[in-house]
């Protein structure tokens, strides 16, 4: 594989891996905390949350399966595990779900022998495209969050903790960045740079950090005057340590919930961006593009509905699971629900 291919692959895949690793890390680290153990107990009792996490788990597995690609030989394009399962399309154009194949070829893999969810305009299997779209959504959500969260955390903590002019600057920053309507900023950035995943995500990240920053700042303000911070200061603990080891962990619950919701919002965003033509380039397989194509497809006779339905269905499941999970986390962590 050429270096360029490797590199672009890495950039695209890295955020996904990083996000998933982070999630696992947070999960493992927090098991040590008493507070979190209680939260997990509550979470465990919530059946709906378990279903949501299951769905997210399935999605994540599929995404990982699609991440790592290799080349069978020099001339071929890189393929991933998913690619290997779904062979090259052999339908010419649309076909309905579960329709028998037009060419007489017999497929070995049962999943692919009949196109379970139909095919699209160039004959690609819809299941295949849906899975590819998962990866895209995860990249968009993950990468953008990776951009947005550090910015929000750093600025929010600094503003809330140090106050005065630092606070003023940060407030000014997030008002400026927040008052430019995100869509316009994204369009502007994407138009000027290139229409690739990376730039779209960077743009999304740069516009989404404001809400999170406000949240972090508010929470930091609340904690700054708590006794434990004053005690730490009195003991001579450096500001940096206080922020990193004392205040930040206390913020994590709210931040995690907010990030979960942010992820889902960004995934939804992608559809709109694709519709407007500033989202993912059409070839890369995203749900947004599938839905966008559906506009014409619905008016055909007979109507081609499966692209739209299954893409939105997959997206719906993802966003729904994230929302349910965020709600469940909120219920589990909320100290007000703790009696005695």
Partner 1 sequence: MLRYLIRRVLYMIPTLIGVSLLTFVLFFGIFSPETIARRNLSAKNASQEQIQTWEHEHGFDKTKLELFEVHMKSLLGFQFGKSDSKSKEVIWDRIREGALPSFELASLAFFFTLGCGLALAVVVAYLRGTYIDTLTMALAVISMSIPIVVYVIGLQYFFGKMLKYGPVAGYEPGFSGLRFMILPVMVSLVSGTGYYVRLYRTFLLDETGQDYVRTARAKGVAENLVLFKHVLKNAMIPVITTTVSVIPSLILGNLVLESFFGIPGLGNYLIGAIKGQDFAVVRAMVYLGTLLYIFGLLLTDVLYAVLDPRVRLQ
Partner 2 sequence: MSDLAPVLEVRNLRTYLETIRGRAWPVDDVSFDLHPGKIRAIVGESGSGKSITALSIMQLLPEPAGFIDSGQILLEGKDLLDLTWNEMRQHRGHDLAMIFQEPMTSLNPVFTIGNQVAESVVAHGGTWEQGKKRALELLERVGMERPELVLRQYPHELSGGMRQRVMIAIALANRPKVLIADEPTTALDVTVQAQILSLMREIQKEMGMAILLITHDLGVVAEMADDVSVMYAGKIVEDAPVRDLFRSPQHPYTIDLLESLPARQHRGQDLAVIEGNVPAATAWPAGCRYANRCQYCIPACTEGEIPMVTVNGVTDARCIRIGQFQRGGVKA
Give me the residues that bind partner 2 (CB under 8 A), please: 38, 41-42, 337-340
Q: What distance in Å separates the CA atoms of residue 299 and residue 84, rounded to the nearest whole number?
A: 34
- Closest separation in Å from C-beta 339 to partner 2: 4
Q: Which stretch binds partner 1 (CB under 8 A): 66-74, 86-94, 170-178, 221-229?
A: 170-178
Give whichever of 89 and 313 is closer to partner 1, judged by the CB atom.
313
Name the 3-class secondary structure at 105. coil
Residue choice 120, 125, 219, 292 for contact with partner 1 (CB under 8 A): 292
Give yes or no for a contact between 224 and 160, defined as CB atoms under 8 angstroms apart: yes
Give yes or no for a contact between 279 and 270, defined as CB atoms under 8 angstroms apart: yes
Give whichever of 118 and 288 is closer to partner 1, judged by the CB atom.
288
Does 323 help bind partner 1 (rule: CB under 8 A)?
yes
Give whichever of 67 and 129 is closer to partner 1, judged by the CB atom.
129
Q: What distance in Å separates the CA atoms of residue 62 and residue 318, rounded to the nearest whole number?
A: 13
Which long-range contacts does 96-105 make (Cβ < 8 Å, 24+ apart)? 96/306, 97/126, 97/306
Q: What distance in Å separates the CA atoms of residue 12 and residue 18, rounded to the nearest whole number?
A: 11
Site string for partner 1, 230-269 (x = CB under 8 A): ----------------------------------x---x-
> 276 touches which of partner 1, partner 2, none (CB within 5 to 8 A by kind)?
partner 1
Q: Which stretch binds partner 1 (CB under 8 A): 11-19, 78-86, 112-120, 176-184?
A: 176-184
- Closest separation in Å from C-beta 149 to partner 2: 30
Strand partners, 95: 119
The tokens for 59 are 């999605």
Give whichever of 84 and 337 is closer to partner 2, judged by the CB atom.
337
Residue choice 187, 198, 221, 252 for contact with partner 1 (CB under 8 A): 187
> 167 touches which of partner 2, partner 1, none (CB within 5 to 8 A by kind)?
none
Q: What angle do CA 200, 139, 324 make, to 5 degrees?
A: 115
Sign of the torsion formed by the C-alpha atoms of 196, 318, 250 and 44: negative
End-to-end Cα distance, the chain: 61
Give yes or no for a contact between 130 and 311, defined as CB atoms under 8 angstroms apart: yes
CA 139 to chain centre: 6
> 8 touches which of partner 2, partner 1, none (CB within 5 to 8 A by kind)?
none
Residue choice 16, 127, 324, 325 for contact with partner 1 (CB under 8 A): 324
Name the 3-class secondary structure at 119. strand
Site string for partner 1, 26-45 (x = CB under 8 A): --------------------
Give whichever of 3 and 192 is closer to partner 1, judged by the CB atom.
192
Q: What distance in Å separates the CA atoms of residue 214 and residue 193, rounded to the nearest whole number?
A: 28
Residue choice 172, 230, 233, 338 for contact with partner 1 (CB under 8 A): 172
Helices 164-179 and 197-224, axial angle in degrees (round to 10): 140
Spatial CB neighbours of 320, under 8 Å, sequence gap ≥ 6? 52
Interface residues with partner 1 (CB under 8 A)? Answer: 172-173, 175-185, 187-189, 191-193, 211, 264, 268, 271-272, 275-278, 288, 291-292, 294-295, 298-299, 308, 312, 315-316, 319-320, 323-324, 327, 336
């Amino acid at each position: 594989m050429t270096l360029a291919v490797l590199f672009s692959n890495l950039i695209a895949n890295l955020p996904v891996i990083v996000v998933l690793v982070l999630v696992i890390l947070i999960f493992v680290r927090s098991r040590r905390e008493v507070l979190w153990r209680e939260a997990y107990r509550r979470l465990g009792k919530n059946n709906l949350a378990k279903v949501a996490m299951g769905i997210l788990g399935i999605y994540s597995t599929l995404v990982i399966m699609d991440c790592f690609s290799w080349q069978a030989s020099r001339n071929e394009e890189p393929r991933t595990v998913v690619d290997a399962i779904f062979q090259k399309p052999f339908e010419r154009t649309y076909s309905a779900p579960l329709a028998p194949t037009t060419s007489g070829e017999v497929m070995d893999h049962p999943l692919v022998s009949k196109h379970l969810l139909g095919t699209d305009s160039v004959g690609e299997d819809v299941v295949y495209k849906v899975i590819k779209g998962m990866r895209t959504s995860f990249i968009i959500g993950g990468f953008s969050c990776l951009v947005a969260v550090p910015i929000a955390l750093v600025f929010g903590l600094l503003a809330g903790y140090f106050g005065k002019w630092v606070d003023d600057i940060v407030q000014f920053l997030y008002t400026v960045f927040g008052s430019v309507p995100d869509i316009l900023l994204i369009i502007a950035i994407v138009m000027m740079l290139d229409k690739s995943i990376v730039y779209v995500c960077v743009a999304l990240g740069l516009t989404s950090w404001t809400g999170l920053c406000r949240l972090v700042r508010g929470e930091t303000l609340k904690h700054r005057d708590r006794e434990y911070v004053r005690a730490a200061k009195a003991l001579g603990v450096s500001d940096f340590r206080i922020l990193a080891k004392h205040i930040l962990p206390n913020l994590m619950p709210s931040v995690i919930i907010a990030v979960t919701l942010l992820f889902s919002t960004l995934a939804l965003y992608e559809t709109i961006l694709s519709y407007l033509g500033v989202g993912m380039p059409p070839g890369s397989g995203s749900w947004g593009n599938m839905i966008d194509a559906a506009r014409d497809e619905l008016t055909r006779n007979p109507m081609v509905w499966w692209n739209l339905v299954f893409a939105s269905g997959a997206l719906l499941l993802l966003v729904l699971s994230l929302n349910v999970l965020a709600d469940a986390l909120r219920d589990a962590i909320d100290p007000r629900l703790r009696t005695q």
